[in-house]
Chains A and B, each alone.
With several copies, the nearest count.
Chain A
Amino acid sequence: MHLRDVISKYGILFALIVLILVAGILSPAFLKIQNIINIFWQISYIGIIAIGMTFIMIGGGIDLSVGSFMALMGALAIQTVNALGDTVGSVILSILITIAVGALLGAGSGFLVAKGRIPPFVVTLGAMAIYRSLVLNFANGGVYMSRSTKYSSIGMMRILELPVPMIVFLIYVIIASIILERTKFGRYVYAIGANETAALYSAINVDKIRIATYVIGGISVSISAILISSMMGSVSSSSTGNGFELDAIAAAVIGGTSLSGGKGKIVGTFLGALVLGVINNMLVMLNVAVYLQGLVKGLIIISAVFLQNVRRSE
């Protein structure tokens, strides 16, 4: 029973360790430092978005738009730098602009959810279509190319051998953890997601907090967009961000965030993203046949989460 408790408390961590061991045994290259760094690098984009998603979901919402939202923000960043010229100042300026616009659009979705009383699924499904449509329209279905080498270098930069996206991601995890678990705002996010009526009766400004979660979502998407678009030096209007919503929600849910709100942890989402990243990496490392990748992935995800529930079935 003691072991069971440990497994269930750190269930996802446990699942992760098992995964890593299996992958390491089957393919020693998996455990190379370089590969571990790569995994963190690869999950950083989805991971950052998933952190924003965690705020939104704990507050009782959902955001389906993140994929196309990211493409839009990436395009915005690239176009702004292109317009402002290849200087450090213009790169910083356009990063700030992109984050501001992301926050604003997030606030827009949040406003429609909170004040318009439209289900978040509908609002963000609509936003998903709208954003993608805008991205496609301005690029005519093509690619936004960065003409600034300064901008493109950010995403590829390394500090102490560690890629910048990874560093940003880890810092973001820490900051988000603190905000969610150590601040008043974070407490309120849990409260409105767990019991909106009680929150209302406790003099919490439910609408404001709800909108704020979407603002955080928008900022997260922008940061991720800046990292990915600078790394790739481009944004494809048709494919960038496709399916990200599912991955981001999956990372949060695997990490224990509940779709109905009030429950979740940033560390959980971090581990959830890591599980997804390890699976994807492992499939390539082990050269799993193309058509069977889905099978393996599906089975691993289901069993990893099942492990967490050992206690509940007591």
Chain B
Amino acid sequence: RIGVAIPAADHGWTGGMVWWAQYAIKQYAKDSTLEFTLVTAREPSEQVAQVQTLLAKGIDALVINPYESAPLTPICVEAFRKGVYTVIVDRGIESEEYNTYIAGDNYMYGYLAGKYIAEKLKGKGNIVIIEGIPSTINTERVQAFKDALKPYPNIKILAQQPGNWSRETAFQVMQTLLTKFPQIDAVWTGDDDMLQGVILALQQAKRDKNIVLVGGAGQKEILKMIMDGNPLVQIDFTYPPNMISTAINLAVMQLKGQNLNGFYQKGMPRKIILSTETITKENAKDYYFPDSVF
């Protein structure tokens, strides 16, 4: 029996993660030896409560994407100590007491975007940052992005505003920024959802030319644009929500005593950091899942 605990779908990416979790679970639908319980939370303490309930119900493995690292640490440790096979996804916990950790690379996610923009602008220009809802992950990405820009003193950050991971908000923020600044050379948004809002605002203001746009996380509509060679967006960086599927598979393999293909070692690896992959026109189709929601 496997419990899967993830944050609720409140924006595109989390929606994607819920989809991929369900996708992975569906794969095992015919396997009567496996029983999954999937729960989603809107807030850390709700997630703690859900894990408590899962433990009371009785589970053999826990796959969890903690809502926040520190607040979820005690309960994950408790699960681990009870002998539940604990797989932590994406946000690490503040303890080493878990079985396996699998995550994306937030630093490179921001860094590569910054580097790309800087190079594309040849080290000179005005840029705008539209970030997500304030959170640890968001802070790390923005910091990395700025780190990447450090060697380029002629790049000026005109504005840094929150777009709340939402198309609508990003649209409005961009609308306002476009009126304020006559010249914007590049926009970085915290994810592809917000990028779509930005593109809409650019089109509406007829300023969708000669501008470098970078989002992130490989949302399918953006990938489609890249695949189709749309000049607006030429690149994307992965932060795949399907890491949850991988994590679920890891838990299943562990419970079934299987090992990873190509590994000489028995058992699962303890830490996996997925690299941030760069998507361009050439490889976009490898990342494009038309059925997925994200």
Contact in complex: A142, B49 (CB < 8 Å): no
Complex: how many Å from CA A236 to CA B181?
29
Contact in complex: A233, B176 (CB < 8 Å): no
Known: A232-B167, A239-B68. A290 touches B11 (CB 8 A): no
Contact in complex: B44, A141 (CB < 8 Å): no
Complex: how many Å from CA A28 to CA B14?
32
**Contact pattern, B 35-77, Cβ under 8 Å of A = 1, otherwise 0:** 0111110111110111011101110000000011111111000
Complex: how many Å from CA A27 to CA B56?
12
**Contact pattern, A 219-247, Cβ under 8 Å of B = 1, otherwise 0:** 00000000010011111111111111000
Complex: how many Å from CA A280 to CA B54?
12
Which A residues are in CB contact (< 8 Å) with B197?
A: 232
Contact in complex: A232, B40 (CB < 8 Å): no
Contact in complex: B48, A232 (CB < 8 Å): yes
Distance (whole angstroms) from the CB of A50 to the closest CB of chain B: 14
Contact in complex: B166, A236 (CB < 8 Å): yes
Partner pick for A140 among B19, B171, B173, B181, CB 8 A cutoff: B19
Complex: how many Å from CA A283 to CA B169?
13
Closest to B68 in A: A236
Q: Give residues 155-179 of A contacting B (CB, 8 Å).
A: 156
Closest to B171 in A: A232
A312 within 8 A of B: no
Partner pick for B73 among A142, A233, A283, CB 8 A cutoff: A233
B265 within 8 A of A: no
Contact in complex: A243, B293 (CB < 8 Å): no
Partner pick for A238 among B11, B38, B176, CB 8 A cutoff: B11
Which A residues are in CB contact (< 8 Å) with B294?
A: 142
B161 within 8 A of A: yes
Partner pick for B94 among A42, A145, A291, A293, CB 8 A cutoff: A145
Which B residues are in CB contact (< 8 Å) with A283?
A: 39, 161
Complex: how many Å from CA A293 to CA B42?
13
Complex: how many Å from CA A280 to CA B19?
21
**Most-contacted residue by chain A among B12, B36, B159, B177 (CB, 10 A):** B12
Which B residues are in CB contact (< 8 Å) with A244?
A: 43
Complex: how many Å from CA A287 to CA B165?
18
Known: A141-B138, A284-B161, A284-B176. A231 touches B74 (CB 8 A): yes
A139 within 8 A of B: yes
- Known pairs A136-B134, A239-B68, A242-B43; list 7 more (Cβ under 8 Å): A35-B180, A234-B71, A236-B135, A237-B15, A239-B44, A239-B135, A287-B161
- 3 residue pairs, one from A and one from B, having the closest CB atoms: A142-B293, A234-B70, A141-B15
Q: 20 A–B contact pairs at CB < 8 A?
A: A27-B180, A29-B179, A42-B49, A42-B175, A141-B15, A143-B12, A143-B68, A143-B293, A156-B74, A231-B48, A231-B200, A232-B72, A233-B71, A234-B70, A236-B44, A236-B68, A236-B193, A239-B44, A241-B43, A283-B161
Q: Could you list which residues of chain B lie within 8 angstroms of chain A, going by C-beta atoms? A: 9-12, 14-16, 18-19, 22, 36-40, 42-46, 48-50, 52-54, 56-58, 67-74, 94, 131, 133-136, 138-139, 158-162, 164-168, 171-173, 175-177, 179-181, 193, 196-197, 200, 204, 221, 292-294
